[in-house]
Amino acid sequence: MPAAQSRVSLLVIEDKKAKEASEVVKEIITTTLKSKNLDAYVEVRFEADYNLQGAATDILVINTPQFKPEDVVSSGKNPYIFLLFTGSLSVETARAAQKSGRFELFPTDRFYGERIEYSEIARFAESLKRVVRELAGESVLEYHFSKSLDWKIRFDHKEKGAVSSFIADPVFQAVLSQAEKALGYLRGFQTELIEFRQKTKRSLSELGAYENDVSGADLNAVKRGFSEINAHAAKMKTKKIHGILLTGETGSGKTRVAEWIASRFLDKDFASHYGKIPLVNIAPNLIDSELFGTFPGAFTDARYKTGKLLSCAGGVVFLDEIGEIPATVQAKLLTFLDDRKALVEGYNDPQGVVIPLLLIAATNRNVREEIKKGDFRNDLYHRFLFKLHIPPIRDRKNDFRYLLSYVLQSQNANIPDSSVESISLKAIETLEKHDYPGNFRELEDIVRRALLNADFARRKCILAKDIEY
């Protein structure tokens, strides 16, 4: 326990005539300090005698209507004042508090009874907690006020589709609710794809082997493989591609949402039948062949190439940054979404190869603006049955601590033999103040560096000085 002289002094002046209000205020203060483990750092006094002469204190809670500015004598200290009032507050009283030091105002008649407002109780408790920590931080080591990395959400290292947080924020909850509805709608299609995967497993495996054959693919065998896949696809009730479009700023978590949807849709087949295609990393003239594949004769020295879509037939394909694809590929993708038909360059059969799958696409662009400029096809946009917008971090402040807890654990898991176990409250508050224009990706980078800074210093706790923007 800290020495008495290093503890924060908190003086509560009670109203003798308002016993119920005094008891409620006392309960809120005592409960708040105890629940946040701050009671060891605070010396609390409750006084009913309204006489502040010589009452030097760090925090002054005035719960009496007789407050006058000349009653507060700082004696070398400038107290933080919590002025509690009932009913309306006069301008003179507010000015008096303002002249006397740093202050906040709270209506005690909203703490209990018929007019109770739990938001006001929470505001008072949160302000008290913040001020105590701020003052105690001047004499108490920062790491005494800390949280374990998993204080909000426990990171599951085995969870492939882990997404930042699904717990607190209503903005993000709306996105997840829409995703759940989409999965519910696709349940019948999901069952069809499971059966398709089982029946085409051998054919798809052989087509992949032909692509890797250095002596050249057996084209007749490839064509037979295509025919077998087409025959099984023709028996399915669903005759088109179902698509989900994710929009949102760079780094907002679109990839993680896509992985979460795919993991729920594919279950145990996620690892073998989920494919992510980062279109921004592929040259525009190669996107067509990467997606749909090639056949000898497509261009000079062309070889058989399966294509990413066929490789994931029966599964889920994630096209990251679909806004980057050229107009010619948009047209082929439109045809594919309409009738599942992939037109392979150099393959003369007009039937192509029919590839049933769930298509998830994402873009950081404003699609409607891109449509107006003619850079994105309007009909392609409307082929996506489900459209989900991922909010940026700045719109998820209610969710931030859950998000942070997740990122701390996920990044710490990637640091070999990391000794870091906790983060100080000051460091958490420092991270909360940043706007994160780079969103989730920027948060990951900042947290990773903070973990490394603490680990290099051989500390188990991340401090505010470890945070670098």
Residue range 243-269: mean pLDDT, rounded: 92
Residue range 193-217: mean pLDDT, rounded: 84
pLDDT band at 363; cut points 50, 70, 90: very high
Strand partners, 44: 10
Query: What is the predicted pLDDT for the residue at 171?
Result: 67
pLDDT band at 100; cut points 50, 70, 90: low
pLDDT band at 218; cut points 50, 70, 90: confident
Query: What is the predicted pLDDT for the residue at 36?
Result: 79
Q: Whose CA is closest to 65, among 87, 92, 80, 85?
A: 85
Residue range 288-314: mean pLDDT, rounded: 87
Query: Does position 356 have pLDDT exceeding 80, yes or no?
Result: yes
Residue ranges, comma separated, of all CATH 1.10.8.60 domains in the chain are: 147-161+396-466
Query: What is the predicted pLDDT for the residue at 149?
Result: 93
**Are residues 239 and 280 in contact, defined by beta-carbon separation less than 8 angstroms?**
no
Query: What is the predicted pLDDT for the residue at 53?
Result: 55
Of the given ranges (8-22, 85-99, 454-468), which has the lowest mean pLDDT? 85-99
CATH number for the domain running over 187-382:
3.40.50.300
Of the given ranges (88-97, 217-226, 456-465), which has the lowest mean pLDDT? 88-97
**Are residues 337 and 243 in contact, defined by beta-carbon separation less than 8 angstroms?**
yes
Query: What is the predicted pLDDT for the residue at 68?
Result: 59
Query: What is the predicted pLDDT for the residue at 346?
Result: 85
What is the pLDDT of the chain when averaged over all its residues?
A: 86
367 vs 12, 131, 179, 324, 375, CA distance in Å? 58, 46, 20, 11, 9
pLDDT band at 158; cut points 50, 70, 90: low
Query: What is the predicted pLDDT for the residue at 245?
Result: 97
pLDDT band at 40; cut points 50, 70, 90: confident
Query: Does position 98 have pLDDT exceeding 70, yes or no?
Result: no
Q: For residue 180, give both structure tokens.
A: 């759940």
Query: Does position 17 have pLDDT exceeding 50, yes or no?
Result: yes
8 or 446: whose pLDDT is higher?
Answer: 446
Query: What is the predicted pLDDT for the residue at 330?
Result: 93
Residue ranges, comma separated, of all CATH 3.40.50.2300 domains in the chain are: 4-140
Tell me how crowded residue 278 is: count the other CB atoms within 10 A of its CB: 12
pTM: 0.69
Query: What is the predicted pLDDT for the residue at 409?
Result: 92
Query: Does position 90 have pLDDT exceeding 60, yes or no?
Result: yes
State in Å, rounded, how far the first CA of the chain is from the last one.
35
Of the given ranges (220-224, 398-402, 404-408, 431-435), which has the lowest mean pLDDT? 398-402
* Range of 102-111, 218-227, 363-372 with top mean pLDDT: 363-372
178 vs 175, 249, 257, CA distance in Å? 5, 19, 12
Query: What is the predicted pLDDT for the residue at 406?
Result: 86
Query: What is the predicted pLDDT for the residue at 75?
Result: 40
- The answer to whether domain 147-161+396-466 has CATH 1.10.8.60 is yes
What value, to the nearest 5°, has the Cα angle with vertex 261 and ends 255 and 263? 100
Q: Whose CA is closest to 128, among 75, 52, 63, 53?
A: 63
Query: What is the predicted pLDDT for the residue at 461?
Result: 94
Of the given ranges (24-38, 76-90, 114-128), which has the lowest mean pLDDT? 76-90
Question: Residue 204: is it exposed, middle or buried by C-beta count within 10 angstroms (0-12/13-18/19+)?
Answer: buried
Of the given ranges (11-20, 149-158, 288-297), which has the lowest mean pLDDT? 149-158
Residue ranges, comma separated, of all CATH 3.40.50.300 domains in the chain are: 187-382
Query: What is the predicted pLDDT for the residue at 161?
Result: 44
Query: Does position 72 have pLDDT exceeding 60, yes or no?
Result: no
pLDDT band at 216; cut points 50, 70, 90: low
Give the amino acid at 286: L
Query: What is the predicted pLDDT for the residue at 76?
Result: 43
CATH number for the domain running over 4-140:
3.40.50.2300
**Are residues 304 and 217 in contact, defined by beta-carbon separation less than 8 angstroms?**
yes
Q: 250: alpha, beta or left, given left = phi > 0 and alpha = psi -120 to 50? A: beta
Portion of the chain with pLDDT greater than 90, in percent = 50
Q: 417: alpha, beta or left, given left = phi > 0 and alpha = psi -120 to 50? A: left
210 or 179: whose pLDDT is higher?
Answer: 179
**Are residues 290 and 332 in contact, defined by beta-carbon separation less than 8 angstroms?**
no
Give the amino acid at 418: S
DSSP per position, 409-442: HHHHTTSTT----EEEHHHHHHHHT---TTHHHH
Query: Does position 313 have pLDDT exceeding 60, yes or no?
Result: yes
SS3 453: helix
Query: Does position 74 have pLDDT exceeding 50, yes or no?
Result: no
pLDDT band at 70; cut points 50, 70, 90: low
What is the Cα gyration radius of the chain?
Answer: 31
Query: Does position 359 have pLDDT exceeding 90, yes or no?
Result: yes
Query: What is the predicted pLDDT for the residue at 177?
Result: 86
Query: What is the predicted pLDDT for the residue at 19?
Result: 87
